[in-house]
């Protein structure tokens, strides 16, 4: 399902003394099946954009096309329930929204609320809990008796149980340990690849944006100032600095190695694996010319 932001402007508390303009003329195209990372310094408007993707916020200027629906400034939008099911959002610290007596009931809540029969909701919950690495005995526990990382997994399972076509992730691994971060990011990537799930990731991690995304949009002072492929975005270090961003660590390491050794590696290394491969290639070339 494609999502298109067209000339979107948004003001919080519009027409009140507290009015705060958060977005200006934002144009972003999220093609069906893509993995888009939205990056930008703090307060640049990333979370505000994200809440337009399932019409939690409606633009005060411009329009947002979500599949075959259009949410337009000044036009009353009807029946947004379908959009909310099709576009699932994992908010920052989603475990704060858990509320049911058991993990099983919590994961089943969303689908049952949308009319999925109990047996089917249960089947999805059990499958997703296992996929997210929750032990079977956790299903009958109170979510509040689990660790923080496990609670996060329950909350993510609850969003996935709605079987969304688009998955929107707002810093989904904030506060997790490195192993938990990696496991959850790998799972989202696996869902993206295997189910063709359109994925949108809001992140401060340039490493995650470089590793997983196929397109990147940079937000700066409420505007989408650049969008493009990760290798083009991260090759332009001057532009990143203008927007108070940095390239991923592997790119910085590559530049240091090139300067120290007086060599130039091929392309830019967006991941550790790519950097290792590039160094190995340069060493092999060096041996050939000896």
Ligand X SMILES: Nc1ncnc2c1ncn2[C@@H]1O[C@H](COP(=O)(O)OP(=O)(O)OP(=O)(O)O)[C@@H](O)[C@H]1O
What is the separation of C-alpha 162 from the centre of its chain, rounded to a whole number of angstroms?
Answer: 17
Secondary element (H or E) of residue 128: helix 118-131
Q: Does residue number 47 form part of the binding site for ligand X (CB under 6 A)?
A: yes
Q: Which stretch binds ligand X (CB under 6 A): 38-46, 72-80, 155-163, 268-276?
A: 38-46
Nearest to 91 by CA among 15, 32, 18, 172: 172
Q: Does residue number 54 form part of the binding site for ligand X (CB under 6 A)?
A: no
Q: Which stretch binds ligand X (CB under 6 A): 46-54, 100-108, 172-180, 274-282?
A: 46-54
Q: Are strands 61-66 and 69-72 parallel, antiparallel or unpaired?
A: antiparallel
Q: Which stretch binds ligand X (CB under 6 A): 36-44, 81-89, 148-156, 227-235?
A: 36-44
Q: Does residue number 94 form part of the binding site for ligand X (CB under 6 A)?
A: no
Residue 224 pairs with which residues in a beta bridge? 219
Q: Does residue number 44 form part of the binding site for ligand X (CB under 6 A)?
A: yes
Q: Does residue number 169 form part of the binding site for ligand X (CB under 6 A)?
A: no
State the nearest-atom distance from the C-beta of 154 to ligand X, in Å.
23
Would you say 266 and 253 are in contact if contact means Cβ atoms under 8 Å apart?
Answer: no
Q: Which stretch binds ligand X (CB under 6 A): 37-45, 186-194, 223-231, 246-254?
A: 37-45
Q: Which residues contact 242 (CB under 8 A, 6 or more apart)?
A: none
Within residues 201-260, the interface with ligand X by CB under 6 A covers 219
Quick one: 84 or 223, whose CB is closer to ligand X? 223
Residue 226 pairs with which residues in a beta bridge? 218
Q: Does residue number 48 form part of the binding site for ligand X (CB under 6 A)?
A: yes
Q: Does residue number 6 form part of the binding site for ligand X (CB under 6 A)?
A: no
| Helix ranges, 143-221 (H) | 148-160, 178-195, 206-212
Q: Does residue number 93 form part of the binding site for ligand X (CB under 6 A)?
A: no
CA angle 170, 38, 255 (to 5 degrees): 120
Would you say 85 and 35 are in contact if contact means Cβ atoms under 8 Å apart?
Answer: no
Q: Does residue number 59 form part of the binding site for ligand X (CB under 6 A)?
A: no
Residues binding ligand X (CB under 6 A): 12, 20, 22, 40, 42-48, 219
């Amino acid at each position: 399902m494609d999502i298109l932001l067209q000339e979107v402007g948004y003001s919080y508390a519009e027409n009140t003394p507290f009015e705060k303009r958060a977005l200006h003329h934002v144009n972003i195209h999220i093609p069906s099946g893509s993995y888009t990372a939205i990056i930008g310094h703090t307060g640049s408007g990333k979370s505000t954009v994200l809440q337009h993707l399932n019409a939690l916020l409606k633009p005060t200027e411009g329009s947002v096309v979500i599949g075959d629906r259009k949410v337009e400034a000044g036009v009353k939008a009807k029946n947004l329930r379908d959009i909310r099911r099709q576009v699932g959002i994992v908010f920052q610290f989603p475990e704060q929204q858990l509320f049911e007596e058991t993990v099983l009931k919590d994961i089943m809540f969303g689908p049952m609320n949308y009319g999925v029969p109990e047996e089917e909701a249960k089947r999805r919950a059990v499958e997703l809990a296992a996929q997210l690495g929750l032990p079977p005995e956790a299903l009958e526990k109170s979510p509040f008796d689990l660790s923080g990382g496990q609670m996060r997994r329950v909350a993510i399972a609850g969003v996935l149980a709605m079987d969304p076509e688009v998955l929107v992730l707002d810093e989904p691994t904030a506060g997790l340990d490195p192993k938990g971060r990696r496991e959850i990011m790998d799972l989202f990537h696996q869902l993206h690849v295997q189910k063709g799930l359109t994925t949108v990731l809001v992140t401060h991690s340039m490493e995650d944006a470089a590793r997983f995304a196929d397109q990147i949009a940079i937000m700066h002072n409420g505007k989408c100032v650049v969008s493009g492929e990760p290798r083009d975005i991260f090759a332009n270090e001057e532009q990143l600095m203008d927007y108070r961003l940095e390239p991923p660590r592997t790119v910085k390491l590559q530049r240091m190695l090139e300067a120290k050794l007086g060599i130039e590696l091929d392309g830019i290394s967006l991941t550790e694996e790519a950097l290792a491969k590039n160094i190995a290639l340069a060493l092999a070339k060096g041996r050939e010319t000896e």
